[in-house]
Chains A and B, each alone.
Chain A
Amino acid sequence: MLEIRGATKRFGDRTVLDDVTFGVGAGRLTGFVGGNGAGKTTTMRILLGVLDADAGEVLVDGRPITADDRRGFGYMPEERGLYPKMRVHEQLVYLARLRGMRNADASDAADDLIDRLELSERRDEPIEKLSLGNQQRAQIAAALVHDPSVLVLDEPFSGLDPMAVETVLGVLAERAARGVPVLFSSHQLDLVERLCDDVVVISEGRIRAAGTRDELRSRGAGRQWELQVGDDAGWVRSLPEVAVIEFDGDYVLFEADPAAAQSVLRLASERGAVERFAPRRPTLTEIFREVVQ
């Protein structure tokens, strides 16, 4: 379990983080979403000790983090970079050994990851000769090679093609399944929605929402309803206490309190077949839009 509590950071007069508190549970894939400049990267840098917070603390399993803890972390910084002239395998081994892995273990682990991330053909090429997508894979491998106890990845999917995204997802999910807390930031909300167990939303340096994905989604639920009937649903528009958001022949999306929604359902079933009636759970994008405003 990785936690950050009450983290505050100011750059000059600007407060970039304001009392940031959230946790990343063991074995949980946690998505960290927020707009540009919301404070994601700053938070991650503080977690890794690359930046000092003005106030607040970082905890591992409930106790203050140490340099030894951080040595076991896997980290992918926002701005990518490995040694341009070092070969892929050699570079991974070097990074793993710096973290205390034995040479033979490091070599095996590097080969294993190169294989998993489909870089085998590029194993002994210098990083600078790789395509951007492959450089990104190598960067992910660099974060994973020492079998980290915690993973913190800043935008790990940016710059990857859809196939590579799936490959990387698989590797991350495997790590989470083994009990590693995984925190990653992303702009791709649909990806976070599909993949993450937990979601943390940050905006202007403040945590706006944090919890399991389902919790967050059901938080906005209960106000919007979807109705699909056998014939025309136009009559819903004339009902009081109901605000239609979207209407398309036999489909209507409306906003109403639960009692009014129930009476819509009753009216509909009196009129004919009801094919579907359900509270609509907002997408993460919608929640995001709502909480950051």
Chain B
Amino acid sequence: MSFSSSTASGARRPGDALAAPSLRASVALIAGREITSRVRSKSFLISTAILLLFVVAGIVGSHLFSSSLGDTRVAAVGAAAELLDYAPGLEIESSTSAEAAERLVRDGDVEAAVVPLQDAEPGAPAFEVIALSDAPGALVQALSIAPDVRLLDPSPVDQGIGFIVAFAFGIIFFTAAITFGGTVAQSVVEEKQTRIVEILLTAVPAKALLAGKVIGSSVLALGQILLIAVAAGLSLMLTGQDVLLADLGPAAVWFLGFFAIGFVLLAAMFAASAALVSRLEDVGTVIQPVTWLVMLPYFLIIFFNDNEAVLTVMSYVPFSSPVGMPVRIFLEQAQWWEPLVALVLLAATAVVIVQLGARMYRNSLLRTGARVRLAEALRG
């Protein structure tokens, strides 16, 4: 029904077309706007594409790099070829004679050659390695007798991989929280600065506005992380690193769960802090404390990823648990119930903080001009 037709019919009174929208409908509408306006922005699309490219290129690139390193070409004569058959990282080329093998080394066709020694004494090495300037480590290692090693406290995961995974979780959490938290903050202040918030608040309650923003940005943030996860999973599979993928899977799923709740918590804090100011120029300063809170787990994980005590504490503290707990799960340090406890702790904190944030938001939203003091914003 349009205005003109309703005027002509004369039967309808102004305001008749309005049915009281439910809180849920309002929140959905607001969240929808947050999402579409973000997805439509070029900068968002470009940064997401770049991020995905980094992830894929990182995984594929490092795989290519490491496999090209591993293939040391070695010429082998006679029995030496059989000996080296199962040695990892070596590409064996059979050669007919010691002279031919030496020529291959001189020509640079192979990095080294292994030839049997004709007059080897019993107990001494029966082979000789021929190389130009230095012998490849992988080859020497393959020909050496390694002592038996008995580890009293074996680490199930390679230390280097452990660091990379911890770093990856840390940086994904950090960048997503900063990017999307910053978006929430900007969107809050944009509404204050343009004063459209005065119009909005005559239509919907402040809590609908806050909930819509937090949910909208959480959906975006989770969506982006999900995309990263899928891209990373596909890259690992395509490069044949299924083993790592299987190890990473459970940790990644927990990470998504922790992130979902952790981000709601942070988004509410970003929104509430941003509501204290009225101009976009002031957003940076006012969200600084929240930004630090986001950066803290990132730095802690980089410095303490091999310190089990710190990691255990981190995995329970609500602001760092979204990074700490998945890392411990990956390192197989966590009992099955530990992530559940940490998740409940995180959710409980989120409920409290979101309520405080909603109060700050409501109290500050219509106050323009000078920055609203925290104590005033929190007043009930």
Contact = CB atoms under 8 A, between A and B. Distances in A.
A207 B295 CA distance: 55
A70 B202 contact: yes
Nearest to B201: A50
Interface in A84-129: 84-86, 94-95, 97-102, 105, 108-109, 111-113
Interface residues of A, number: 47
A161 interface: no
B68 interface: no
A184 to B, nearest CB: 16
Contacts of A33: none
Interface string B170-207: 00000000000000000000100111101111111100
A109 B7 CA distance: 12
Given A77-B198, A94-B29, A100-B21, A149 B3 contact: no
Interface in B1-52: 1-4, 6-7, 13-21, 26, 29-30, 33, 37, 41
A82 interface: yes
Given A98-B200, A101-B18, A112-B2, A179 B33 contact: no
B129 interface: no
B199 A75 contact: yes
A108 B6 CA distance: 11
Contacts of A78: 195
A12 to B, nearest CB: 13
B199 A149 contact: no
Contacts of B260: none
A235 interface: no
B202 A179 contact: no
B110 to A, nearest CB: 62
A49 interface: yes
B14 A95 contact: no
A178 B7 CA distance: 8
A48 interface: yes
A56 B181 CA distance: 40
Given A68-B20, A109-B2, A147-B3, A98 B204 contact: yes
Contact of B37 (A85, A102, A111, A178): A85
B204 A109 contact: no
Contacts, number: 108
A50 B198 contact: yes
Nearest to B21: A100
Contact of B194 (A71, A83, A149, A178): A83
Contacts of B29: 94, 97-98
Nearest to B205: A67
A86 B201 CA distance: 19
Given A50-B366, A105-B17, A113 B3 contact: yes
A61 interface: no
A94 B203 CA distance: 11
B17 A148 contact: no
A79 interface: yes
A142 interface: yes
Given A68-B20, A108-B2, A50 B203 contact: no
A72 B200 contact: no
Contacts of B7: 174, 178
A100 B19 contact: yes
A178 B190 CA distance: 35
B195 A77 contact: yes
Interface of A: 45, 48-51, 67-68, 70-73, 75, 77-86, 94-95, 97-102, 105, 108-109, 111-113, 142-143, 146-149, 174-175, 178-180
Q: Which 7 A-B pairs have the closest CB atoms?
A: A81-B194, A149-B15, A72-B15, A108-B2, A100-B18, A100-B21, A98-B203
Given A77-B198, A78-B195, A98-B29, 18 more contacts: A49-B202, A67-B205, A71-B202, A75-B198, A75-B199, A81-B196, A82-B194, A84-B194, A98-B21, A98-B203, A98-B204, A101-B18, A102-B17, A112-B4, A146-B15, A147-B3, A147-B14, A178-B14
21 contacts: A48-B198, A48-B202, A49-B201, A71-B18, A73-B202, A77-B195, A77-B199, A81-B196, A83-B37, A86-B33, A98-B203, A98-B204, A100-B20, A101-B18, A109-B3, A112-B4, A146-B15, A147-B16, A149-B13, A149-B14, A178-B7
